[in-house]
Amino acid sequence: LREDLYYRLNAFTLQLPPLRERKEEIPILLKHFMSRMSEQYARPPLPLSQALLQACQEYSWPGNLRELSNFIKRYLVLGDEKLAVQELHPKTDGSGPRADLAPRNGNEAAGGLKSLARSAKDEAEAEAIAKALDETNWNRKQAAALLQISYKALLYKIRQYGIAQSKSHHKLSAGA
């Protein structure tokens, strides 16, 4: 760590308790992140049911705000409240949804978690692209604008994820 950079950034220090010690703030933060993410991804905000709020308040949030933010992002993209609540309540017999995320030995931690995160990101990205293409009747320029990516990036990602045009929107096209 460069010392000059440390002193430049260390103008003042804030001590914040972990999120698990500020459970009363969780509903406010959930609403904030839902509002922010729904705007960012151009999706209507999903409801935060009592069951979801309770599950979130009972969870310990070891990743603090970043984990909470990513949780809301997954919930918004996938739109499955049951899955979201299950994610926060692993089964004690080791068969719960989070049990298979835990590394079984130290060597799996680095590659396994990165690989899992990458595949989850790819799956969510492919789903968002497919939905944008369907919403724009496969007008790729409009879909790229909706996703806030370049047209070329969209074409690359369509090929990368193997996204095919559904029969209801099927048109003959030279490039796709």
87-118 tens-digit pLDDT: 887 654 444 444 444 444 444 444 567 777 88
DSSP symbols for 83-135 = HHHHHHS--TTTTSTTGGGS-SSHHHHHHHHHHHHHHHHHHHHHHHHHHHHHH
For residue 111, the model assigns a pLDDT of 55
DSSP assignment, residue 45?
Answer: P
**pTM given for the model:** 0.49
List the Cα angle 43/52/37 in 5-degree steps: 25
pLDDT digits (tens, 9 = 90+) for 111-150: 567 777 888 888 889 889 999 999 999 999 999 999 999 9
**Domain ranges within the chain, ordered by starting residue:** 15-104, 112-161
Given 3.40.50.2300, 1.10.8.60, 3.30.70.360, 2.60.120.560, which CATH number is that of 15-104? Answer: 1.10.8.60
